[in-house]
Structure 1
Amino acid sequence: MTLTSTPANAPTRAGAATAASTRRRGAAGWLPVVPLLAFTAIAFGIPVVALLNGAFTVKDPATGATSYTTANLDASLHGAYLTALIGSVKLSAVCAAIGTVCGLLLAQAVVTSRFRALREAVLTASGVLANFGGVPLAFAFVATLGNSGVLTQHLHLRDKGWDLYSFWGLTVVYLYFLIPMMVLTITPALDGLRSQWREAAQNNGATHAQYWRHVALPVLAPSLLGGYVLLFGSAFAAYATADAIVGSSIPLVTLQIADALSGNVLVGQEHVALALSLDMVLVAGLVMAVYLPLQRRSARWLA
C-alpha cells in the first residue's frame, strides 16, 4: 500500500491563494465605482476647493496681490450679512416645521386610504409639485394672491391683513412645494410601520393617541427629522422664487450672495459672497450631523 504525503506548506499556499483571490475580487468590485468617484470629485470637489480658496482670499485693489485671511468670514457674520443669514435660517426653520407636520398628516391620510387610485394620484401630484418652483411659481402666486391677484380681489384679502410680499406670504409660497416633498419623503416610512405594533398596543389598552405618542412617532422620529432636514435645505437654498416675489424687502442670505456677486450694493464683495456660501454649507452640515445618527436608528426599526 502506498501512502501519499501532503506537503507541510500546503495550507499556507491555499491561504495565500485565497487572500490573493479576495484582493482581486475587491479590486474588481471597485472598478465600476471609479467613474462615479471621478464625477463626484470633479462636480463637487473642485467647487468646494474654489469656495474655500475664495472665502479666505483677499485681493489688494491697489497692487492686485492676494493674501489669505479670515476677514471675509468675519464680514459675513456682521451687519446686513448676519441679518440675512438669520432671516434665512428663521424662514427655513418655520417652513420646514409647518411642511413636516402638514406633509405627515397628508401622507398618513393617503397611506390609510382604501382607494389605491387616490394614493397614486396624490403621490404623482406630489412628485410634480415638489419640483415646481422658481419664477413660474412666483408668477402663479403673484397672479393669484398678489396685491391685484384674483383671489386677493375676490376675497378682499388685503382688508384682512394678507400680504404676499411678507415673511408669511413667502412661507405660504414655499409650502406649495415643501409639503409635497414631505409627502414623498415620509410615505415609505409610514408604509414601514407594522400592523402588529398597532394591534399589540390596542391589545394592551392603548388608545390611538397613545399608540402614536409611544410607538409610531418614536419610530418615525428619525425619518421625520430627515424630512425636516430636506425641507430646511430646500427652503434655505431657494433663490429664484424669493427674488421674484420679495426682492430685497426680506433679508435672505441667497439674495445677499447674488447682490454681492453682481455688485449691486458694494463693488468687490465677491469673496464675501463665497464666505456667505461657506456659512450656508456649515449650517447645512450642522443640521445633517444631528440627522445621521438618528437615521441609523430608524433603519434598524423599519428594516
Structure 2
Amino acid sequence: MVAPVPTAAGGGAPAAPGRAGRTWLAWLVVVPFLAYVGTFLLYPTALVLAGAFQDSSGGFTLDNLAALTKGVYLQAFLRSVELSALTALLGAVFGALLSWAVASGKPEGLPRRVVVAGAGVLAQFGGVPLAFAFLATVGFQGFVTRFLRDWFGVDLFASGAWLFELPGLTLVYTFFQIPLMVIVFLPALDGLRPQWREAVDSLGGSAWTYWRHVGGPILLPAFLGALLLLFANAFSAYATAAALVSQGSPIVPLQIRGALTGEVLLGQENLGKALGLGMVVVVAVAMGLYAVLQRRFARWQ
C-alpha cells in the first residue's frame, strides 16, 4: 500500500523556494527598460498624436492632417517614399549579392570576418560624418571631383548640384543600406542546409532548379522582410539629409525640421507633429509587414 503524499494546507502544491525572489529580480530588470521605452518612445508618440489634431489655440482640428494631402507636404511624402523604396531596392539587391558571396566562402575565413565587421561599422556610419565624407570625396571641391576635372576634363557637376538633391541622397543612403542588408540577410543564407542542395543534385536537378524550387522560396520571406526594414530605415533617416541638404526640404524629415524651427512661418508646430504622425504610420505599416514575414521565415529555420 502506497502512503499518501503530504500536501500543503488547502490542497495546493508547495511554492517553489526562491520563486518570489526571482519574480522580484525579473521586475527589477524590466522596470528600467519599460521606463526608458515610455519616456523616449511612448510619451513622444502620444505628444505627436495629440498635437496632430490641435490648432494653434489648442482646439480640435483636422486641418493639419488635411494639409498632408496636398501641396509641398504631399510632394515631400511622395519623394520620401520614392527615395526610401529606391535605396531599399538597391541596398537589398547589392547587399544580397555580397551576402551570397560571403556565405559561399569559408565560415571562419578572413574575408567573411572582414566583411561582417565592416558591415557592422558602415551600417551605423551616418549623419554628419557620412555627409562630410561624401562632400570631401565627390563635393564641389572633393578630391575625386578635382581629380576627374584636372586630369580627364570630366565635371561631375556639369548637369547641376545633384549631390545636394534626391540623386545625391540616393547615393548616400545606399552607402549605409548595403551593409545593413548584409547584417540582416546573411543569417538567412547561413540557414540554407547543404543537404537540400545535395538532394536536388542527387535527383538530377540543376542549380536553377535548386534556386527556383528550394532556395528561392525559402529566402523570399527573409529578402522581402529585409527590404521592408531597409525602407523603414531610409524613410526615418534625418541627420544625413539635414547635413547634406541646406536649401529646401525635399523629404518629410526636413519638412518637420522646417515646421518646428522655421522663422518664416510661425505656429507650425502642430503641422510638424502631423507630419511626424504620418511618418509613424508609414513606418509602423512597414515594420508590421516585416514582423509577419519574419514569423513565416522562422518556420523554415
Provide TM-score, normalisation by structure 2: 0.86
User: Which structure 2 residues correspond to residues 63-142 of structure 1 after superposition, within 5 A?
Assistant: 66-114=58-106, 116-142=109-135
Distance 1:38 1:292 in 2: 24
Q: Does 1:33 align with 2:33?
A: no
Contact 1:127-1:180 at 8 Å conserved across structures: yes
Deviation at 1:107, TM superposition (A): 1.0
How many percent identity over aligned positions? 45
Pick closer, same or farther for the CA change 1:6–1:41 going to 2, 3 Å: same
Pick closer, same or farther for the CA change 1:297–1:50 going to 2, 3 Å: same
Contact 1:126-1:180 at 8 Å conserved across structures: yes
Paired amino acid for 2:103: V
Distance 1:97 1:281 in 2: 21
Deviation at 1:250, TM superposition (A): 5.9
Deviation at 1:50, TM superposition (A): 1.2
Q: Which stretch shows the higher mean deviation, 186-195 or 271-280?
A: 186-195
Report the secondary structure of 1:67's partner residue: coil
Deviation at 1:230, TM superposition (A): 2.2
Paired amino acid for 2:261: S
Distance 1:299 1:35 in 2: 30
Contact 2:7-2:13 at 8 Å conserved across structures: no
Paired amino acid for 1:69: T
Partner of 1:217: 216
Distance 1:146 1:153 in 2: 9
Partner of 1:280: 279
State the Cα deviation string for residues 34-77 of structure 1 (Å, max 9, x = none): 332233222222111111111111123xxxxx212222111223
Provide TM-score, normalisation by structure 1: 0.86
Partner of 1:299: 298
Report the secondary structure of 2:163's partner residue: coil
Contact 2:229-2:286 at 8 Å conserved across structures: no
- How many residues get paired? 292
Deviation at 1:89, TM superposition (A): 0.9
Contact 1:248-1:255 at 8 Å conserved across structures: no
Unaligned runs of 5+ in 2: 149-153
Partner of 1:53: 50
**What is the aligned-residue RMSD (CA, Å)?**
2.8
Distance 2:144 2:231 in 1: 29
